[in-house]
Amino acid sequence: MAIFKWLFSRSPEPQQRTQPQPAASENRAPQIIRDPARPTFTHAHRVPAGSFRFVALDVETACTDSASICQIGLACVQPDNQIQTFSMLVNPGTRFDAFNIQLHGIGPDHVADAPRFPDALDMLLPLLTRHHLIQHSNFDKQAMNAACGFCGIDAPDLRWSDSVQIARRAWPELKGNGGHGLANLKRTLNLQFHHHDAGEDARAAAMVVLHAERHLRLPFEELIKPATRKSYSAKVTMDGDPKGALAGSVVVFTGALGMSRSDAAALAARAGMTVRAGVTKQTTHLVVGDQDLAVLAGHTKSSKHRKAEDMQSAGHPIRIVGESEFKSLVAKSEGT
86-127: pLDDT as tens digits: 999 999 999 999 999 999 999 999 999 999 999 999 999 999
Partners of 85 in beta bridges = 3, 75
Measured distance CA(336)–CA(324) in Å, rounded: 15
Query: How far are the Cα atoms of 94, 254, 265, 273, 284 from residue 234, in angstroms, in the given order?
Result: 55, 12, 12, 19, 21
Position 113, amino acid: D
Q: Is the pLDDT of residue 228 over 60?
A: no
Residue 188 or residue 298, greater confidence = 188
Q: Is the pLDDT of residue 34 over 80?
A: no
Q: Which domains are seen in the chain, by residue range? A: 3-223 (3.30.420.10), 250-333 (3.40.50.10190)
Kindly report whether the global pTM for this prediction surpasses the value 0.75. Answer: no
Q: What was the pLDDT predicted at 251?
A: 93
What CA dihedral angle connects 188, 189, 191 and 194, to 10 degrees?
Answer: -30
Q: How many CB atoms lie within 10 A of CB 126?
A: 10
* Coil, helix or strand at residue 69: strand
Position 83, amino acid: I
Residue 287's contacts (CB-CB under 8 Å, 6 or more residues apart) are 251, 252, 253, 254, 257, 264, 268, 321, 322, 323, 326
Q: Nearest 5°: phi and psi at 301?
A: -65, 145
Measured distance CA(170)–CA(164) in Å, rounded: 10
Q: What is the mean pLDDT of residues 262-274?
A: 92
Measured distance CA(164)–CA(280) in Å, rounded: 32
* Coil, helix or strand at residue 324: helix
Q: Is the pLDDT of residue 37 over 60?
A: no
Best CA proximity match to 108, nearest among 44, 57, 63: 63
Q: Judge contact between 247 and 333, C-beta under 8 A.
A: no
